[in-house]
C-alpha cells in the first residue's frame, strides 16, 4: 500500500503495478546475480584496488555464485519488479566454536546489492528484512555481516536495521626488506 509503514521503514511509494517482489533465487537467476554483483564489485575495486581485482575471471565469478545457489546452507533472495532484477541478498549459516567462546550458530550476509538506479527505494530494507526472517527460521542467535569503512551508506543502512559494530578488522601493508 503506498505510504504504508513496515517495520519502521517507509514502504515503496511505487504504483501497484511497480511493486517489488522478493523470491528465492535459483540457477536460472545466475546471469542477473552476476550482473548485479559486477556493479558492487566495481564500487569495491574503485575504493580498494589492492584487494579487489579490476576484472575478475567470469568463470570464477559464475562458479562462486553457482556454488552458493546450490549450497543447502545458504540462500539468495532476489528483488524483482516486473521481471527485472533490482538487487539480492545472500546468506550462509555458520557456527562459532572455540575453547574461549560460547558456541554460537549465526547467519552471515555474504553479499547484499541493490542496483544503483534502484537505490533509496526501500529495496535494501526489504532484503534485510527477508534476511532476518530466513535467519530466524533457521534458529540462529544472530546475523552478521562485514562492511568496508569506505561504504558509509551501507553501514548507515545496517545500523538502521539494528546492526552494531562489534569488532574492527585492521590491516597494514608489509614493506619488503
- pLDDT digits over 56-77, tens only? 899 999 999 999 999 999 999 9
Q: Are 74 and 94 in contact (CB under 8 A)?
A: no
Q: Which domain holds residue 48?
A: 22-160
Q: Is residue 121 part of a domain?
A: yes
pLDDT band at 177 (very low <50, low <70, confident <90, very high): confident
pLDDT by residue (tens digit) across 79-128?
999 999 999 999 999 999 999 989 999 999 999 999 999 999 899 999 99
Mean pLDDT, residues 13-18: 48
Give the number of domains in the chain: 1
CA 61 vs CA 22, 34, 86, 147: distances in Å: 23, 7, 19, 20
Q: Is residue 2 part of a domain?
A: no
Mean pLDDT, residues 3-32: 67
Q: Is residue 53 part of a domain?
A: yes
Provide the pLDDT for residue 3. 35
Q: Is residue 7 part of a domain?
A: no
CA 13 vs CA 20, 55, 132: distances in Å: 11, 37, 23
Provide the pLDDT for residue 6. 37
Q: Is residue 135 part of a domain?
A: yes
Mean pLDDT, residues 30-35: 96
Q: Are 145 and 108 in contact (CB under 8 A)?
A: yes
Task: Give percent of the chain with pLDDT exceeding 70.
Answer: 90
CATH number at 68 reads 3.40.630.30
pLDDT by residue (tens digit) across 131-149?
999 999 999 999 999 999 9
Task: State how far the Cα of 94 lies from the Cα of 114, in Å rounded to an integer.
Answer: 24
Nearest 5°: the CA angle 158, 74, 159 is 5
Q: Is residue 33 part of a domain?
A: yes
Amino acid at each position: 500500500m503506498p505510504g504504508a509503514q513496515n517495520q519502521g521503514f517507509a514502504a515503496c511509494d511505487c504504483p501497484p503495478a511497480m511493486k517489488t517482489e522478493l523470491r528465492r533465487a535459483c540457477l536460472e537467476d545466475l546471469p542477473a546475480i552476476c550482473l548485479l554483483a559486477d556493479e558492487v564489485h566495481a564500487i569495491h575495486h574503485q575504493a580498494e584496488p589492492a584487494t579487489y581485482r579490476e576484472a575478475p575471471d567470469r568463470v570464477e565469478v559464475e562458479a562462486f555464485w553457482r556454488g552458493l545457489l546450490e549450497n543447502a546452507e545458504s540462500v539468495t533472495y532476489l528483488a524483482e519488479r516486473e521481471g527485472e532484477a533490482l538487487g539480492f541478498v545472500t546468506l550462509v549459516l555458520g557456527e562459532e566454536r572455540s575453547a574461549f567462546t560460547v558456541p554460537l550458530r549465526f547467519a552471515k550476509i555474504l553479499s547484499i546489492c541493490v542496483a544503483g538506479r534502484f537505490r533509496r527505494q526501500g529495496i535494501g530494507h526489504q532484503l534485510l528484512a527477508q534476511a532476518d526472517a530466513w535467519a530466524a527460521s533457521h534458529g540462529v542467535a544472530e546475523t552478521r555481516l562485514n562492511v568496508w569503512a569506505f561504504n558509509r551508506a551501507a553501514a548507515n543502512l545496517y545500523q538502521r536495521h539494528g546492526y552494531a559494530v562489534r569488532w574492527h578488522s585492521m590491516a597494514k601493508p608489509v614493506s619488503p626488506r
